[in-house]
Amino acid sequence: MNGPLNMHTELHPVRSRGAPVCRDTAHQLSVIRSIVAEVAAAMPPPAMAAVDPPMAFAPTSEHHYGRLYEPAELQDRLLWASGLVGETKQTVVANLRAAQSLGPMRRLAAPPSVSAVDALARDFPHCGDVTALLRRRIALAHCCPTPTFRLPPLLLSGAPGCGKTALAKRIAKLMAVPHAEFDMSTLHTSFSVVGLDVGYATGRPGRLWEVMQHECMSPVLILDELDKARSDGSDDVVGFLYSLLEPVTARRFTDAAIGLAIDTSKVNWIATCNDLRAIDVAILSRFTVMEVPQPKVHEMPAVIASIHNDLMSAADWIGWFDQPLSIDVVAALAALSPRAVIRAIEDAYASAAAAGRRVVVPADVSDSRSPHRSHPIGFIHNDKSSETRA
């Protein structure tokens, strides 16, 4: 058979002609109901759920699957790669073989649990818009028998240090899918993401291809500091986003080195930025922009608790100290930004250790905000500094 097999054919034996068709949900339910009736006769029954009208569908598996690539196209590329030579051939063939071994059908992300989103809302109380969006998307995902979850491309915008990147990582974690981070401020070309043609000496597949070589085809890709992406003149660093953020064109993304079309429309994109004006309007229009404000003072205790919990799991020395932080210390930390809180907590523990105490006191908390730089470095000055100089 030349055509691709679908999952149903691969998993079930083909029924011979004339054999009795086995559609037996009604039989199953009738037996179950009779057993439930017997139990109900023996003990006071709670009100039972009415059984739906005959199911139009039956859940087939826990996870829904999608097709990453067409096997026939992969065979074509393998044939093409066999004509290459040297290290180039090894790279391309190894990547194609790896994709072949994982198979064309890949798992799609399942919706996260509502309790996980509740925990997210508790730890990021200032990001109510984002958690509300997650709840709506979860509800939408559960409107079909095999719920699959996909976020719209999200752009988290806000002041430095307000917790955008931490929020993006946390969303990736609660979705229980693979995730990758692209630091856009240090990205000078798009080759490292979308690959470079193997005709070049340094040609190799991009990170997007590598991330997609997983049993799940709905990874979370975090584009950190999208507004800081700088083009080197010959290559538009963020140019790949034009097609990848459009579901229609993303369905047939082709890595420049591998040349096999893969479906990247199920990828969950989360970008962060400080300044929306620095982002091209065409890219901006492809994102759902969500403002992440600085947490208010009354929201800070939850944020501090979340940061402190993360620190407790990461720092070995923290076991030496008495836990948790006192209310006075939390109050002292509440005046800082979330990023400054991370530094301030560590500094506070360091001060306590130096003083030989196992308890952090408010006096240990120093203001870790970066001192305002009065004279900018370099020759370009902003308007305010120019005014000052004038």
Partner 1 sequence: MNMTTPKTTPFVESICWLESRCESVPHGWQIAYNNMLCRLMAADCPARAEVVVRGPYMDDLNLRVTQNTPDPVVAGILRRLERATAQSCEVCRRPGKLRCLDRTVRVLCGHCAGPRLASLALTRVIRDLDKSAKGSPDEEIWWESAPVQLRPLIPASAWQVLDVAGVRSPVRYTSSGRLEEHRPWLEAVRRALDEAT
Site residues (vs partner 1, CB under 8 A) = 12-13, 15-16, 19-22, 24-33, 35-36, 38-39, 42-43, 45-52, 55, 58-59, 113-116, 119, 136, 139-140, 142-147
Q: Tell me if residue 288 falls in helix, strand or coil.
A: strand
Cα angle value 168/174/177 (rounded, 5°): 90
- Closer residue to partner 1 in complex, CB, 97/122: 122
CB of 39 to partner 1, least distance (A): 5
CB of 14 to partner 1, least distance (A): 10
- Closer residue to partner 1 in complex, CB, 52/316: 52
- Closer residue to partner 1 in complex, CB, 29/276: 29
CB of 161 to partner 1, least distance (A): 29
- Closer residue to partner 1 in complex, CB, 122/296: 122
Phi then psi for 227, rounded to 5 degrees? -75, -10
Cα–Cα distance between 293 and 181 in angstroms, integer? 22
Here the tokens at position 362 are 């408010």
Find all residues with CB under 8 Å of 78, minimum gap 6, and list them.
Answer: 93, 96, 97, 100
Cα–Cα distance list, 129 to 151, 156, 187, 364, 372 (Å): 14, 10, 29, 35, 31
- Closer residue to partner 1 in complex, CB, 79/143: 143
CA 300 to chain CA centroid, Å, is: 25
Residue 316 zone, left/alpha/beta (φ > 0; ψ -120 to 50; rest):
alpha
CB of 125 to partner 1, least distance (A): 18
CB of 111 to partner 1, least distance (A): 8
Return the number of other C-beta atoms located less than 10 Å from residue 235's C-beta: 12
Find all residues with CB under 8 Å of 150, minimum gap 6, and list them.
Answer: 108, 109, 137, 141, 218, 266, 268
- Closer residue to partner 1 in complex, CB, 57/379: 57
Q: Which amino acid does the sequence have at 112?
A: P
- Closer residue to partner 1 in complex, CB, 139/297: 139
CB of 53 to partner 1, least distance (A): 12
Helix-helix angle 114-123:128-141, to 10 degrees: 180
CB of 113 to partner 1, least distance (A): 5
